[in-house]
Amino acid sequence: MTHEPLTVDADRFAADLAQLCEIGWEGERGLHRTAFSQPHLQAREWFLRRASAAGLETRVDGAGNHSALLPSGEPEARTLLLGSHLDSVPAGGRLDGALGVLGALEVVRTVKDAGLRLPVTLEAIDFTDEEGTVLGTMGSRALAGQLTPEMLASPRYGRDRLLAALAGAGLSEESLFAARRDPADIAGFLELHIEQGPVLEQAGVQLGIVTGIRGNASFDIEFVGAARHAGTTPMAARRDAGLGAASLILGLRELVMRDFPGCVANVGDLRLEPGAFNVVPERAVLKLECRSLDEDELRELAEAVLALAGREAERWGLELRTEAVGLWKPAPTHPRAREAIAHAARRLRLTATEMPSGAGHDAQVMARITTSGMVFVPSVDGISHHPHEWTSLPDCINGTNVLLGAAVELATTS
Ligand code: HGY
Ligand code: MN
Ligand code: MN
């Protein structure tokens, strides 16, 4: 007689998901739950309250990572971590990260309710500042011992913002480094996440088994020309920083599509100074990132991008300043984690396909220190980092049940 696999409490999960989605939600303006903002802190407190209500232990570490724990009865038991992040991008969507944190909590609660005794401590974790509005994968890099003083010296949005955010949360650079865990104590890491792209929906497949996670190299780029009167200065006599920015953005798209077809690049922020109708821009400041699944290719892509910026600066008679402000290496997931996810999907008679992740995740950090895997569920119209980001409730529950099955398998076979 085949046993039906253990499944989560769908009603409890749905009720909690509805509550969590409201914290920081501003309707058509989207979700505003950036790291260390009031809504973010409210969501974290909500998570701890729900964990306590389920009779779980709770903990906050020196990186502000919030955890709900179900200790194993066994001495010397290692910890199987399940989780994601509750912080969002500005004007983001309601499920990016949040689904993985709630899914992890629901798995731990379900194991506890079922009286399942596992040889590992189960820990549902909400990592601090995955999205990088302060540092980027701050909590997971701290836990994994992947943070260095150099990384804290020049974060993507500046050191002042980092120090202010840490101080406001009662954290410090010292407490970040103290949050490091010994990898020998960790049995593995699993993350449930929305796909944030169109692949699963277009293929009509219920789940994605993530094979690898793209790396990301981020740069501050600055073109410097000369401010002049926009009415009196002849067009040919200008050193217009805006021309450097515009030609880099257009050239970037051409470069990637021609020479790096498996990669992506983006300029997500552009500022012209002094920023007046009637002044030729003296400075153009761009926030640029580029991504690849392969570490060597990411390095080559970054070099090609900076060389392009240099050529455009020369073309328009501009000075160029560049600063590397973030590097997240690509990471493959672990075959044992992929296998556990595939088994769980099969037991639940759900369709699944292996696929890479274009987005970055805490799992790419955890993959450096432990057996790590990711479960994707479809995104409606492939939309993410946008108020219309959504995944159906049945798909969210499917993903959480697969997370449960994979966690139990990893826990009992690691
Ligand atoms: O940027 C990313 O890929 C992720 O959403 N932090
Ligand atoms: Mn995410
Ligand atoms: Mn995101």
- The answer to whether the pTM exceeds 0.75 is yes
Task: Determine the distance separating the centroid of ligand 1 and the alpha carbon of 358, expressed in angstroms.
Answer: 9
**Nearest protein CA to atom 4 of ligand 1, as residue:** 360
Scanning 128-223, the segments in alpha helix (DSSP H) are: 138-143, 149-153, 159-168, 173-178, 199-203
Q: Which residues pair with 357 in a beta bridge?
A: 213
Closest ligand 1 atom, CA of 360? 3
Three-class DSSP category at 288: strand
* pLDDT value for 2: 54
| Two structure tokens written together for 31 | 């979700």
Please tell me the chain's helix, strand, coil percentages from 3-state DSSP, rounded to the nearest 5. 40, 25, 35
Strands 331-332 and 372-377 come out as: unpaired
Return d(Cα 336, Cα 356) in angstroms, integer: 16
Ligand 1 pocket check: which of 130, 157, 288 to mutate, most ligand atoms within 8 Å of Cβ?
130
Closest ligand 1 atom, CA of 96? 5
Task: Check pocket membership of 222 for ligand 1, CB cut-off 6 A.
Answer: no
Task: Check pocket membership of 360 for ligand 1, CB cut-off 6 A.
Answer: yes
Number of other residues whose CB lies within 10 A of the CB of residue 214: 24
- Would you list the DSSP string of 335-373? HHHHHHHHHHHHHTT--EEEEEESS--HHHHHTTTS-EE
CB 15 within 8 A of CB 92: no
Q: Which residues pair with 200 in a beta bridge?
A: none
Task: Check pocket membership of 130 for ligand 1, CB cut-off 6 A.
Answer: yes
Return d(Cα 47, Cα 210) in angstroms, integer: 26
Task: Determine the distance separating the centroid of ligand 1 and the alpha carbon of 372, expressed in angstroms.
Answer: 18
Q: Which residues pair with 322 in a beta bridge?
A: 221
CB 35 within 8 A of CB 165: yes
| Two structure tokens written together for 414 | 């690691």
**140-151 b/e (C-beta count within 10 Å ≥ 16 → b):** bbbbbbbbeeeb
Return d(Cα 355, Cα 195) in angstroms, integer: 10
Closest CA to 62 of 150, 166, 163, 132: 166
Number of other residues whose CB lies within 10 A of the CB of residue 402: 32
Give the ligand with the smallest distance to the CA of 360.
1
Q: What is the CA radius of gyration of the chain?
A: 23
Task: Determine the distance separating the centroid of ligand 2 and the alpha carbon of 97, expressed in angstroms.
Answer: 4
Per-residue pLDDT for the chain (414 aa), expressed as one digit of tens each? 456 789 999 999 999 999 999 999 999 999 999 999 999 999 999 999 999 999 999 999 999 999 999 999 888 999 999 999 999 999 999 999 999 999 999 999 999 999 999 999 999 999 999 999 999 999 999 999 999 999 999 888 899 999 999 999 999 999 999 999 999 999 999 999 999 999 999 999 999 999 999 999 999 999 999 999 999 999 999 999 999 999 999 999 999 999 999 999 999 999 999 999 999 999 999 999 999 999 999 999 999 999 999 999 999 999 999 999 999 999 999 999 999 999 999 999 999 999 999 999 999 999 999 999 999 999 999 999 999 999 999 999 999 999 999 999 999 987
Ligand 1 pocket check: which of 33, 89, 264, 365 to mutate, most ligand atoms within 8 Å of Cβ?
89
CB 345 within 8 A of CB 402: yes
CB 82 within 8 A of CB 104: yes
In the chain, how many H helices and how many E strands? 13, 13
Q: Which residues pair with 25 in a beta bridge?
A: 31
Task: Determine the distance separating the centroid of ligand 1 and the alpha carbon of 348, expressed in angstroms.
Answer: 29
CB 134 within 8 A of CB 160: no
Strand arrangement of the beta sheet that strand 264-273 belongs to: 264-273, 283-292, 215-224, 319-328
Strands 283-292 and 215-224 come out as: antiparallel
* pLDDT value for 149: 94
Task: Check pocket membership of 131 for ligand 1, CB cut-off 6 A.
Answer: yes
